[in-house]
Amino acid sequence: MIRWLALVALIATAPLAAKESLGVFADWAAFRDVETPRCYAIAQYTTDEDETGYTTVGTWPELDVRGQVHVRLSRETLPGARVRMRVGSRRFDLTAQGQQAWSKNKAMDAAIIAAMRSARTMRVSSVGMDRRAFADTYTLEGAATAMDAALVGCAEL
């Protein structure tokens, strides 16, 4: 479950000079970082044990990268463990290392984003270093608007 206060805390810890808020849309927010330059939509996940992770959909105009999906898992994964993302009824096996996970290619990024636009929830699951399964679940309310705001925000860079 995404906690609103956790998202606000994530936003508050970002260097103010580097990031410009493009808006908060339900459980998602969008930012523009002129110094990098990049724009991204982001949602945060916090467990009852205060483990924190987040998902971003980013755009780097100078690198010609648009809609790149990245997940920082709430826990470090066991080396070699599969990281699976479920968006609505669609399933995707991600590439992962430690607490970081990404889609395997641009086609998978596009498929994940398309699924995010029509689904209500997204779940990312794996096995932690303690060999216990875990899952980070996100609501997707506001995700499409945040992704669009990030894309439009980077059009101005």
Where residue 69 sits, what CATH number does that domain have?
Answer: 2.60.40.1880
Express each pLDDT in 78-132 by its tens digit.
999 999 999 999 999 999 999 999 999 999 999 999 999 999 999 999 999 999 9
Spatial distance between the Cα atoms of 74 and 65, rounded to a whole number of angstroms: 25
* Whole-number pLDDT of residue 51: 73
CB 113 within 8 A of CB 64: no
Q: Please report the pLDDT score of residue 142 as a whole number.
A: 97
User: Is residue 4's pLDDT more than 70?
Assistant: no
pLDDT of residue 12: 41
Q: Using pLDDT thresholds of 50, 70 and 90, give the confidence band for residue 66.
A: very high
Give the percent of the chain with pLDDT over 90.
80
147: helix, strand or coil: helix
| Signed CA dihedral, 84, 28, 10, 108: sign only | positive
Task: Identify the pLDDT of residue 18.
Answer: 60
Cβ-contact 70, 102 below 8 angstroms: yes
pLDDT of residue 45: 83
Q: Domain limits at 95?
A: 4-155
pLDDT band (50, 70, 90) for residue 13: very low
Tell me: pLDDT of 8 over 80: no
Average pLDDT score over the chain: 88
List the beta bridge partners of residue 58. Answer: 40, 68
Number of domains comprising the chain: 1
- What is the model's pTM? 0.86
* Model pLDDT, residue 15: 42
The answer, yes or no, to whether residue 39 has pLDDT greater than 80, is yes
